[in-house]
Every structure is written in structure tokens, then in C-alpha cells.
């Protein structure tokens, strides 16, 4: 889907400071595949984009006010506990809350009609992770996604 | 293999938090055992109190995260390793494995421990420190292998095989009843062409007309596969100069993939015909190699009932064609190798191995000639300033471990009096050892480890807004430290009053950034 982040809605999960598990509220511009409501919650985890460690870890959070092309999933099925750890779930209604598929690899910033992958925005030293998109036209990106 | 930094001592302790899931606990413990078992001077011990451990291990199950394991930070006390059970399960499901969760969890736990010890990602896909879980799904790697061991040894030093050369080889058949067990047999490779199964010779020296290089793939619970390869072109050991083979296993079994400076490979044996696979607690036994007019072959050993009907798979041993001295892993760092595994299914179930072990009997002893780890070189005492591994920001924005700084290096400098960034030049470095440190945790960024001394100062801002060079012993939570990204609040202060800590004093032209925090240009 393509959407604009309207606000940072809640934090949850580990008690990191600052919190690294954030629920953002999105206004959806369009769904490329699948469908849903016009306003959804999306979880993201990581660090603030200006964190000096981001470039190393590639885990910059999405930002309020920006437009994104996201690959989302709403599969919140957890393995049983025990033996596995209890599931950490966002506080929002799960049927309208999504997580980003592939995390870092499923986030694409849309700016001035161009699409940028996070691997381009925040290069990871190891490299080779995810699709590298560095400023291709939004429509071209959209049609490539539609054709896959 | 790259490495970032290391602990300034060789005994690292870990603690399994109450949040570590029961699904992950055995994997974590086995991962620690595997790391401790490699021939470096590093030992890893489980503690039952978090305050006594450098590494805390925990589990979550979080669908919104994409990582299966995370280590943060590295190379300092207070490391947390987190395993994400949700992703681990997903990976098992995606790869359509009916079993294997614990193997994968072990691969991830051992990988993260490697980071905690100071290892960066490897460039070798068939290594534990490869960044992707393909190391497991493609190569079934869940323990440190040679690339990993070499990197760890570069940080902590090689250990000598203390028990092996003078062991008396018992004549009884395996399994032995108590550890340590000793090699039961040599594996003899007759020089009679391909297609001949090996023979076992209990308690007898290898005939000097034979070469044996052995390695196996063993588990405490199950031996699934035993592969071997060798090459020999002559009975004359002088014809065995510098031959080295890299071997690889895939679904098709074992094969040599390269030989350097040697002649033809005459035989390759794969003992199992396939469809034999890893399972939890599997362990690679690796050995090498020939060099320098001598065969340097050694093996980790196992015990158990391991007959498969394919031949003599009940043994492992070692042989040196030259001096007769078996020095095992002594020369392992001279060679490169690969890992043997396969990704077939339907594990055999008739084997039983009680425990894996190697020849590191008793306390580890440093290998003569091996780089000595930092704890043993510096000596002395007195006050220092920055702990080993502290990252110094240099002029291009990259970060360099403090121990790698050299006189004349150019660091990112900052004058708090003028607010101007410029270049700070290293004028002198000094290494000292202290018995206590202070870990300063902040709301963002890496913790800073300094002397717990009133003479150690940092550019700080008090709650009332006053900025000053403040002794670290006077810092309190909610004071802020200056970074090149602005002020960051201190969240906690953790004094460590035990251990030996390698610290580095840096003398520079103007203040510089250590782990991102502004440090004074002169040591305390």
C-alpha cells in the first residue's frame, strides 16, 4: 500500500529507552495488492533516523508526515507459550494493525514522486539485503510491484 | 572474518534470564559450550546471577520484528542477546522443516554470542558469523567453524591442545562411561585405491605408509554422518608438501572442491549414502591438514555407538607424519577450511553419543607463539580512561576502536568553549589495567566504560543547565553528556569493582568523541 504517516500512535514491547517498538497511524492513499481500510495502524521497530547507529543497523523508523510504500502483513499468529516466549503484540486492534514484511526490506520512502528503499537511504555495511531502489518514479515502482 | 573489539579478559559469563524460553534454553547452553570448546583462550561460563554476568540472554516472540536474534551492545558488560521465537518458528515453517527449531536457535544464539565476544559478520557463507540464517538452512551451521574460530583466536589467543599428545589410548570399545574419553581407534586409509572402506586399528600406531585425515559430524545425541577425504600420492612424506584440500558437503555428499600445491586426489569417501541429517546438538568435528613436510591431522573426538553398517565409523584419531608430535589445532590457524554438512532429511536414529568433547582437557593453556590476549601483555596498573573497544570517531565520521589508534591519527574534535568542530590529533596513547570501571548508560547510543575515578571527566550538562567537565563519579541519572548529535541523558551508572580491565589513555590536541561522548584531550 501507499500511505502517509499521520501520527505516532503508541509504543509497546521492550522497555528500551527511547521505545523502539512504535505503532504509527497511516492514512492509506492506495492499496496496490490486497485491500483494507483507509486508516490503518502499522508497527515499526528501530531507532530514530538521525541515530548514528542507524547507518550500521539499518533500522531507521518511519517518520510522521512522510509518505511510504509498504509491504504489510497482519499475521499475528504466535507460537504457543510455553515452550516459546509469550507473544509481544501491539496495543491496537489486530485486525486493523499491520507489521512491515521484512522490516527494513519492506519499507520504501516516497518523496517527490520517487521511491527509495531503506537500503539506499541507510546503507548497511554488509550490503546485499533487500531490494535496492534509489529514486525510481513511483508509477514505475508501482507497476513493477503489480506485475509480480 | 572481521572483528570489532574484545573483552579485556578471557572468561566471559552469561546469564539466562527468566524470560529465556524453555524452547531456547538448551540451544543457548549448547551454543555457549560450543564456543567454549573451541581452541581459543576464551571460556564461557553460565552464571545464575545476572550481576555476575557480562551477557544476559532472553527471548521474545514478536511478529513485528524481522530479526531472529539481536545483540546489543557488543564488547562491553551489560550485553543483552535476544532471541525472537516468532521469527525462528517462521523460518522453520518457511523452509518447510518438520524439526530443526533447536538447531536453528542454536545457530542464532551462537551467532549472537560471537557478536557479544567481539566478532563482526564473516564474509564466508559457510560460517557461523555469516549474517544470514542461510548458514543454517543451506549449510546446517550452528557451531563455530574454522573461520569463526580463527577470528575468535585473533581476539583472545589460541589455546594449546593440552591433553592430546600424551594420551594413552584405551583399548576398550566406545562408549566410555565418563569424560574425558580418549580416542579409541585410528582410522586407517589403505593406499589401495578408491572403493575400499577404511579399517580400524585399536591402540596401534598408524603405519607410516598411510595418511589419515579424518573428520566427522557428530552430535551428543546422534551421529548422523561421517565423512572423510584424503589424498596421498606417495608413501614418501616428502611428497606431501603443502597439500591442502577444502571440502564441502551438500546434498550430494562430500567432495573436494580444491587442492592447492598438491597432486591428484586419489580417494574420496563418503561414508553415508545420504538422507542423513543433522539434529539438535549436532557438532561438527573438523580436522586438518598437511603442511610443511608433515601431516598435521587432528580431530575432535566423540564417543558412542556409531556403527552404521557402512564401515568403521566408530573412531577418530590423529596422526602426524613428521615429528610424531600431534599438535592438533596448533596449526589450524595456518589453514583455511570449510565446513561439512548437508541438508537432507530423515535423520538416522540409531546412534548415540553422550557428549561432544575435544582435547582441551583441563584449563586452557596458551599456545606458544600465539598472539597473547590483551590481559596478559600490558601489566602495570594505575588510572586509565577508556576501555578497550571504545569507538573513537575519526574525521571521516567512521569509528575506530581505541586500541587501534596511533599517534598522528586524526579524530573528530570539538572545542566546547567555542562550539567549533575541528581535527583532534592523537599525540600519545598509553595502555593500563584497572581493577574497576564505571559503565555509563545513556538513553541512546553505546554505553561508555571509563575509570571509576574522580580524575576521569566528561563534558556534561547538569540538570540545572550548567555545562562543565564533570568527574564521572559525580554523574547522576538525568545529567546529560555531549555528543556530536547533541546532549544525551545519562540513564544509569554501573560500577564494576572486579576483574582486570584494559584501559587506554589518549592524549590529543583537543577534545574528541569516545563512543560518541566528548572526552577531554588529556588523560586523567
Inter-residue contact B513 to B498 (CB < 8 Å): no
Please give the C-alpha separations between residue B371 and each of B2, B150, B420, B433, in angstroms, as whole numbers.
Answer: 16, 12, 41, 18
Tens of pLDDT, residues B110-119: 999 998 998 8
Cross-strand pairs, A115:
A110, A136
Chain B neighbors of A86, CB-CB under 8 A:
61
Tens digits of residue pLDDT in B394-432? 887 788 888 788 878 889 888 888 788 888 888 777 777
Establish, for the pair of chains A and B, how many residue pairs have beta carbons separated by less than 8 Å. 88
**Bigger pLDDT: B208 vs B451:** B451
Separation of alpha carbons A23 and A79, rounded Å: 22
Question: Which of the residue ranges A141-145, B137-141, B309-313 would you say has the lowest mean pLDDT?
Answer: B309-313
Would you call A87 and B23 a contact, using CB atoms and an 8 Å cutoff?
A: no
pLDDT at A54: 58
Give the pLDDT confidence of A67-113 residue by residue, as tens digits: 999 988 888 889 999 999 999 888 899 999 998 887 778 889 999 99
Q: What angle do CA B140, B143, B148 make, to 5 degrees?
A: 110
The SS3 call for residue B91 is: helix
Q: What is the pLDDT of residues A37-55, one digit of tens each?
A: 889 999 987 776 666 555 5
Concatenate the DSSP letters of all residues of B469-484 into one string: EEEGGG--TT-EEEET
Q: What is the mean pLDDT of chain B?
A: 60
Strand B365-366 to strand B512-514: parallel, antiparallel, or no bridges (unpaired)?
Answer: unpaired
Judge: A17–B62 Cβ closer than 8 Å, yes or no: no
Q: Which residue of B has its CA nearest to A77?
A: B63
Residues of B in contact with A80 (CB under 8 A): none
Nine cell digits for residue B179: 569424560
CA atoms within 13 A on the CB side of B40: 32
CA distance B66 to chain A (A): 6
The C-alpha atoms of residue B112 and residue B121 are separated, in whole angstroms, by: 10
Q: Is the dihedral of CA B247, B183, B102, A125 positive or negative?
A: negative
What mean pLDDT is predicted for residues B162-170?
30
pLDDT band at A25 (very low <50, low <70, confident <90, very high): very high
Q: 0.80 exceeded by the pTM?
A: no
| B66 neighbourhood in chain A, CB within 8 Å | 100, 102-105
Maximum pairwise Cα distance, chain A: 48
The angle subtended at Cα B330 by Cα B327 and Cα B332, nearest 5°, is: 120
B-chain CB neighbours of A47 within 8 Å are 444
Is the Cβ pair B66, A87 closer than 8 Å?
no
Give the pLDDT band (50/70/90) at residue B207. Answer: very low
Query: Rounded distance, CA B35 to CA B44, Å?
Result: 7
Gap from B391 CA to chain A (nearest CA, Å): 12
Type and span of the H or E element at A55: helix A54-57
How, if at all, do strands A21-30 and A39-45 pair?
Answer: antiparallel
Per-residue pLDDT at B234? 37
Residue B72 has pLDDT above 80, yes or no: no
CB-CB neighbors (< 8 A) of B443 in chain A = 17-18
The whole-chain average pLDDT of chain A stands at 81
Q: Cα separation of B524 and B507, whole Å?
A: 10
pLDDT value of residue B331: 29
Q: Which of A46-55, B236-245, B494-503 has the highest mean pLDDT?
A: B494-503
Among B23, B65, B121, whose Cβ lies nearest the Cβ of A84?
A: B23
In this prediction, residues B441-459 reach a mean pLDDT of: 81
Q: Which residue has the cell 510504500?
A: A69
The residue-averaged pLDDT of B201-220 equals 32
As a whole number of angstroms, the distance between CA A45 and CA B65 comes to 7
Amino acid at each position: 500500500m501507499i500511505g502517509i504517516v499521520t501520527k505516532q500512535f503508541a509504543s509497546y514491547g521492550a522497555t528500551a529507552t527511547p521505545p523502539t517498538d512504535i505503532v504509527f497511524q497511516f492514512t492509506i492513499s492506495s492499496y496496490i495488492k490486497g485491500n483494507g481500510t483507509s486508516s490503518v495502524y502499522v508497527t515499526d521497530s528501530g531507532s530514530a533516523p538521525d541515530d548514528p547507529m542507524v547507518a550500521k543497523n539499518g533500522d531507521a523508523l518511519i517518520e510522521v508526515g512522510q509518505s511510504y510504500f509498504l509491504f504489510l502483513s497482519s499475521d499475528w499468529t504466535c507460537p504457543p507459550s510455553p515452550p516459546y516466549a509469550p507473544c509481544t503484540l501491539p496495543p491496537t486492534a489486530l485486525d486493523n494493525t499491520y507489521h512491515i514484511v521484512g522490516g527494513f526490506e519492506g519499507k520504501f520512502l516516497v518523496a517527490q514522486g520517487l521511491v527509495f528503499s531503506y537500503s539506499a537511504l541507510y546503507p548497511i555495511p554488509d550490503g546485499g539485503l533487500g531490494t535496492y531502489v534509489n529514486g525510481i518514479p513511483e508509477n514505475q515502482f508501482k507497476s513493477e510491484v503489480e506485475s509480480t | 572474518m572481521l572483528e570489532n573489539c574484545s573483552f579485556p579478559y578471557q572468561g566471559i559469563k552469561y546469564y539466562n534470564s527468566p524470560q529465556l524460553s524453555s524452547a531456547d534454553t538448551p540451544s543457548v547452553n549448547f551454543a555457549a559450550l560450543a564456543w567454549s570448546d573451541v581452541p581459543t583462550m576464551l571460556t564461557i561460563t553460565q552464571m545464575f546471577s545476572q550481576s555476575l554476568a557480562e551477557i544476559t540472554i532472553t527471548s521474545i516472540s514478536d511478529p513485528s520484528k524481522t530479526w531472529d536474534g539481536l545483540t546489543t551492545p557488543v564488547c562491553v558488560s551489560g550485553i543483552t542477546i535476544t532471541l525472537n521465537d516468532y521469527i525462528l518458528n517462521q523460518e522453520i515453517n518457511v523452509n518447510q522443516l518438520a524439526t530443526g527449531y533447536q538447531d536453528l536457535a542454536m545457530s542464532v544464539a551462537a551467532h549472537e554470542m560471537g557478536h557479544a565476544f567481539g566478532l563482526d559478520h564473516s564474509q564466508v557463507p559457510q560460517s557461523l558469523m555469516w549474517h544470514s540464517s542461510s548458514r543454517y538452512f543451506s549449510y546446517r551451521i550452528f557451531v563455530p567453524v574454522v573461520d569463526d574460530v580463527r577470528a575468535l583466536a585473533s581476539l583472545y589467543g589460541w589455546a594449546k591442545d593440552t591433553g592430546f599428545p600424551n594420551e594413552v589410548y584405551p583399548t576398550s570399545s566406545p562408549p566410555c562411561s565418563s569424560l574425558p574419553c580418549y580416542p579409541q581407534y585410528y582410522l586407517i586409509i589403505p593406499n589401495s585405491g578408491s572403493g575400499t572402506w577404511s579399517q580400524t586399528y585399536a591402540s596401534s600406531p598408524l603405519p607410516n605408509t598411510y595418511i589419515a585425515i579424518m573428520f566427522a559430524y557428530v552430535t551428543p545425541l546422534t551421529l548422523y554422518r561421517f565423512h572423510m577425504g584424503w589424498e596421498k600420492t606417495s608413501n614418501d612424506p616428502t611428497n606431501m608438501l603443502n597439500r591442502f584440500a577444502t571440502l564441502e558437503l551438500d546434498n550430494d555428499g562430500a567432495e573436494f572442491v580444491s587442492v592447492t600445491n598438491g597432486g591428484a586426489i586419489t580417494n574420496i569417501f563418503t561414508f553415508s549414502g545420504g538422507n542423513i541429517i543433522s539434529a539438535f546438538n549436532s557438532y561438527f568435528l573438523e580436522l586438518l591438514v598437511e603442511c610443511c613436510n608433515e601431516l598435521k591431522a587432528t580431530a575432535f573426538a566423540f564417543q558412542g555407538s556409531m556403527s552404521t553398517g557402512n564401515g568403521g565409523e566408530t573412531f577418530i584419531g590423529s596422526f602426524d607424519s613428521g615429528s610424531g608430535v600431534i599438535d592438533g589445532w596448533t596449526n589450524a590457524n595456518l589453514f583455511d577450511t570449510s565446513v561439512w554438512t548437508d541438508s537432507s532429511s530423515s535423520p538416522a536414529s540409531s546412534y548415540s553419543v553422550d557428549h561432544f568433547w575435544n582435547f582441551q582437557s583441563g584449563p586452557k593453556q596458551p599456545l606458544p607463539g600465539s598472539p597473547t590476549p590483551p590481559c596478559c601483555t600490558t601489566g602495570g596498573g594505575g588510572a586509565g580512561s577508556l576501555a578497550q573497544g571504545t569507538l573513537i570517531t575519526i574525521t571521516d565520521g567512521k569509528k575506530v576502536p581505541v586500541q587501534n589508534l596511533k599517534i598522528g591519527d586524526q579524530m573528530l574534535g570539538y572545542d566546547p568553549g567555542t562550539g567549533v568542530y575541528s581535527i583532534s590529533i592523537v599525540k600519545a596513547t598509553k595502555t593500563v589495567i584497572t581493577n574497576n570501571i564505571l559503565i555509563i548508560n545513556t538513553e541512546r547510543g553505546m554505553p561508555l566504560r571509563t575509570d571509576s575515578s574522580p580524575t576521569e571527566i566528561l563534558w556534561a550538562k547538569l540538570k540545572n543547565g550548567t555545562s562543565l567537565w564533570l568527574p564521572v563519579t559525580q554523574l547522576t541519572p538525568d545529567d546529560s553528556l555531549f555528543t556530536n548529535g547533541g546532549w544525551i541523558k545519562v540513564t544509569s551508572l554501573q560500577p564494576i569493582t572486579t576483574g582486570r580491565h584494559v584501559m587506554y589513555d589518549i592524549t590529543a590536541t583537543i577534545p574528541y568523541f569516545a563512543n560518541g561522548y566528548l572526552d577531554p584531550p588529556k588523560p586523567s
